[in-house]
Chain A
């Protein structure tokens, strides 16, 4: 199975900060990657798919980049409601696999 490794595992940042989360794949996956945000007690929410396509209704401060094996999710100006855990998910091969998550705390 393709392994997805996220970094950092957690971060704490202030409102207005630029935040970047990295996801690395154990093999080439093209642009077959999505990003999800999860808050406690809720299912994950789709933010980005196909590495850089913003899901409808998601604020434009979220952006995705990368291809091949290294991908990033950037929040250009962190807002209080952006707390939660962020996961990447590869859809290049089966089984689909998630990264282990990055917990984001807003100071």
Chain B
């Protein structure tokens, strides 16, 4: 079964850092771009970061979010620095099909984890 499982969510104080993990199984992990998306309570999803199949190319919404991967462990990570109250959200990792057609590459997040909750509060 193709699966993603996130972990590492916690209650943390503002200004601290946190590292989230996501482990994939049931597919060749190193063949896929991976993405982190978060969703604050009662809000829509927000794209956070992605990383190419073998790294090191990565993009993020903000420099405080640092995504990395270890294909030997079928894992991606999200380091969040200088946490703020508005970082409170469920953080999902997702697999990107990275579909190629007509000379372009398209994102398509076809497998998602169940998410891990990050709460930032003093």
Interface residues in chain A, defined as those with a beta carbon under 8 Å from any beta carbon in chain B = 30-32, 34, 36, 38, 43-46, 49-50, 53, 55, 85, 87, 89, 91, 94-101
Q: How many A-B residue pairs have CB under 8 A?
A: 67
Give the most central of A30, A55, A95, A101: most B CB within 10 Å.
Answer: A95
Q: How far is the CA of A87 from the CA of B109 in the complex (A)?
A: 13
Nearest-CB distance from B107 to chain A (Å)? 4
Q: Would you list which residues of chain B between 43 and 76 have a CB under 8 Å from chain A? A: 44-47, 50, 59-61
Nearest-CB distance from A78 to chain B (Å)? 22
* Contact across chains for B44 and A87 when beta carbons are under 8 A apart: yes
**Band of interface residues on B:** 20 to 34
Interface residues in chain B, defined as those with a beta carbon under 8 Å from any beta carbon in chain A = 37, 44-47, 50, 59-61, 92, 94, 97, 99, 101, 104, 106-110, 112-115
Query: Which 9 pairs of residues, A with B, have the shortest CB-CB distance?
Result: A49-B108, A91-B107, A43-B112, A96-B47, A50-B106, A95-B61, A101-B44, A94-B59, A46-B110
Q: How far is the CA of A98 from the CA of B60 in the complex (A)?
A: 15
The answer to whether A99 and B108 touch (CB under 8 A), given A43-B92, A94-B59, is no
